[in-house]
Amino acid sequence: MKSFFEKIRIPEKGVSLKIQMVATIGVMLFGFALGVLQKWIDGSPSNIFPLLMQQLDIRNYFGRLAVWILLATVISIYSKTPLRASINTFSFFISMLAGYYLYCNYVLGFLPRAYMMVWVVISFATIFMAYICWYARGEGMISIIISSAIIGALFAQAFSLTQGFYVYHIMEIITWIIGVVILHRKPKEFAIELGLSVVIAFIYQLVIPHWG
């Protein structure tokens, strides 16, 4: 089994535990800060932000899925091993939730426990998902399918395919473009990846009609 996965992507060896721990702590601090920032933006009146931020709907952007799919992907694929991808991604989301809900509780004076628990469950699910996502930067058809699924999920957040073709959100287009850039491949594989991602996005929107 090990040799099968190493044909897709080989984990980096020889990285010291200290460096790995520093990377994980950095991810956690970033997650915590982003959680606080997200809730501060969400709880602030829109007219205090620059007009461009209002037009791009930054306040609601963090309440949708695309940005979190992208961040989880970035953390996963740039980790040294699939295990580190799981640890780092989980650490990011738990820290982000800690920042978000501590701000809710101690600054805004309320704590939506039921909603919080949903996100905690999702955070635990990222342990498994990040492990798989790490192989998106590998070789072969399995890697292409994984990266296509990620790009397809981002595409489904940006564009409507099942009820006429139109744009859902400008920020999600930017997010999709970033996803395409970080998961680019050789020209032939890249064409397969993009084509398959559109099919996956279409299936997503059939299963979840209001995906965007």
> What residues does each domain of the chain span?
14-134, 138-212
User: Between 113 and 124, whose confidence is greater?
Assistant: 124
Q: What is the pLDDT of residue 25?
A: 97
Mean pLDDT of 184-211: 90
Give yes or no for a contact between 96 and 39, defined as CB atoms under 8 angstroms apart. Answer: no
Place of tokens 């072969």: 140
Q: How confident is the model over 103-119, as pLDDT tens digits?
A: 999 998 888 888 899 98
Q: What is the mean pLDDT of the chain?
A: 91
Q: What is the pLDDT of residue 211?
A: 52
- CA pseudo-torsion sign 147, 12, 130, 96: negative
Q: What is the pLDDT of residue 142?
A: 96
Mean pLDDT of 95-100: 96
- Taking the C-alpha atoms of residue 142 and residue 119, their distance in angstroms, rounded to an integer, is 29
The residues, ordered by sequence, that sit 6+ positions from 209 with a Cβ below 8 Å of its Cβ are 162, 163
Query: For residue 212, is pLDDT > 80?
Result: no
* DSSP class of 51: H
Q: How confident is the model over 159-192, as pLDDT tens digits?
A: 998 888 888 899 999 999 999 999 999 999 999 9
The token duo for 53 is 């931020």
The token duo for 112 is 């939506």
Packing angle, helices 170-182 and 141-158, rounded to 10 = 170
SS3 state at 160: strand
Q: How confident is the model over 6-54, as pLDDT tens digits?
A: 889 999 888 888 999 999 999 999 999 999 999 998 877 777 778 877 7
